[in-house]
Amino acid sequence: MKELEDLKLLKKIIEKNKKEIFESIYLDLKKSKEDILFSEYLPVINEINYFLKNLKKWKKRKKIYNEFFLLGGKSYIEYIPYGKVLIISPWNYPFQLALLPLVGAMGSGNKIILKPSEYSINTSKILKKIIEELHNENYKIVLGGSETIEEILKEKINYIFFTGSTEVGKIIYKKASEKLIPITLELGGKSPVIIEDKESIEKGVEKILWGKFLNLGQTCVAPDYILLPKGNLDIFLENVKKYLKNSLKEGKIINEKNKKRLKELLIGENIIYQENNNKTDFPFTIILNPSENSKIMREEIFGPILPVIEYENLKEEYKKLDHKEIPLAIYIFTKHIDKEKISKIKAGGITINGTLFQVTSKYLPFGGVGASGIGKYHGKYSFETFSQERTIFDGTYINIKILNYFMKKIGKIFSS
């Protein structure tokens, strides 16, 4: 199978260029080797391995039950490639978020144009090297800014997969709709953390800060703000300091433009804690009770700033969430798991007593709803996303006389 051979070659090229991949990501984002390994490199290798193991099974034509009156007919579902797929990837996880969808598109048999971010230029260059070493005209990569997307869309594109901000996602969505191109949008939003009780604070803090600190908060599913039961701020801050004592990692904000944006978000806010260090170029900052109408509560933060909002009535906080844009993730820390309540919450994904865990499994779909995205991927869900699910019906042995007989009989039953 051609797709399997292409995936094997891709894996071989990635493994051969491992050292250069790690160096490039470090230059762009100053991630630790450990973070590069587990949040960039291994997810791609694991995805390829999963496709190699399961692709034949997924691609196999599936026989489906028939309606009883279609006696003699045979029904099938098959998965075929869309054709030419455009993948637009972001800078925050520049290796993983370029190649994870590429593995899905490649495994599904599509031609691919990859457009990586111009902000993570070092990683984009190593991606270019990897794609070019495939020596396959079906797989292309284009470097450059937004103007290159305009040029690419002049071609016949059959599917678009975009990962990035909601603002840019709307622009891409509009362009796709003008040409009726099917699209997946992996966006972001403000993913809240809800701490339901005092007992969940101590264990919760380390998981919250672990999720917030990964890539210095530049993660689409990073905890964006915390809802904390009133009267527990001191114990919360105590646990924050305890965690940060030995847990700070290297990292940098992608560019000066984003650093300036983060600084502006803090103007006029009540800063209650700031952790300055020489490992990062922006301090981890906690602010208290920002206004719901403030800029920091209207925009996705995408950095190491954590608003803490004290609340008195938990039910009211859940009601408020219903009136906000649907987030990509919601994190609930609780000692009592209420399955009925959780099933009513609107979010791309929900993690209980943890953060980010929901995006790490190839067995789970990852995607948003509404402003946080359209569609899903990872593992088999990537294969389904990049494949057209097509109906095949074989009517060779259907007898029209028998079909007419059934129709008359059924007609009499319903008309009597």
> Would residue 186 show up in a list of annotated catalytic residues for this protein?
yes
Distance, in Å, from the CA atom of 348 to the CA atom of 326, rounded to the nearest integer, reads 7
Long-range contacts of 148-157 (CB under 8 A, 24+ apart): 148/115, 149/86, 149/88, 149/115, 152/86, 152/113, 152/115, 153/86, 153/179, 155/84, 155/113, 156/83, 156/84, 157/84, 157/85, 157/86, 157/113, 157/181
Distance, in Å, from the CA atom of 393 to the CA atom of 380, rounded to the nearest integer, reads 24
| Residue 387, Cβ density class (10 Å: 0-12 exposed, 13-18 middle, ≥19 buried) | buried
> Would residue 40 show up in a list of annotated catalytic residues for this protein?
no
Neighbours of 404 (CB within 10 A): 10
Closest listed residue to residue 226, CA positions, set 338, 301, 326: 301
Active-site position among 47, 186, 300, 384: 186
Instruction: For helices 121-132 and 18-29, give the axis angle rounded to 10 degrees.
Output: 160
| Residue 135, Cβ density class (10 Å: 0-12 exposed, 13-18 middle, ≥19 buried) | exposed
| Residue 281, Cβ density class (10 Å: 0-12 exposed, 13-18 middle, ≥19 buried) | middle
Distance, in Å, from the CA atom of 40 to the CA atom of 127, rounded to the nearest integer, reads 13
Q: Are 193 and 350 in contact (CB under 8 A)?
A: no
Tokens 């594109």, located at residue: 157
For the beta sheet containing 350-352, the strands, ordered from the edge strand earlier in sequence to the opposite edge, are: 271-275, 284-288, 305-311, 225-229, 192-195, 330-333, 350-352
Distance, in Å, from the CA atom of 116 to the CA atom of 94, rounded to the nearest integer, reads 7
Q: Is 197 helix (H, G, I), strand (E, B) or coil?
A: coil
Q: Is 28 helix (H, G, I), strand (E, B) or coil?
A: helix
Distances (CA, A) of 325 to 77, 175, 299, 303, 381: 36, 23, 11, 20, 24
Active-site position among 3, 47, 220, 300: 220
Neighbours of 1 (CB within 10 A): 11
Closest listed residue to residue 215, CA positions, set 333, 91, 125, 111: 91
Enumerate the active-site residues.
186, 220
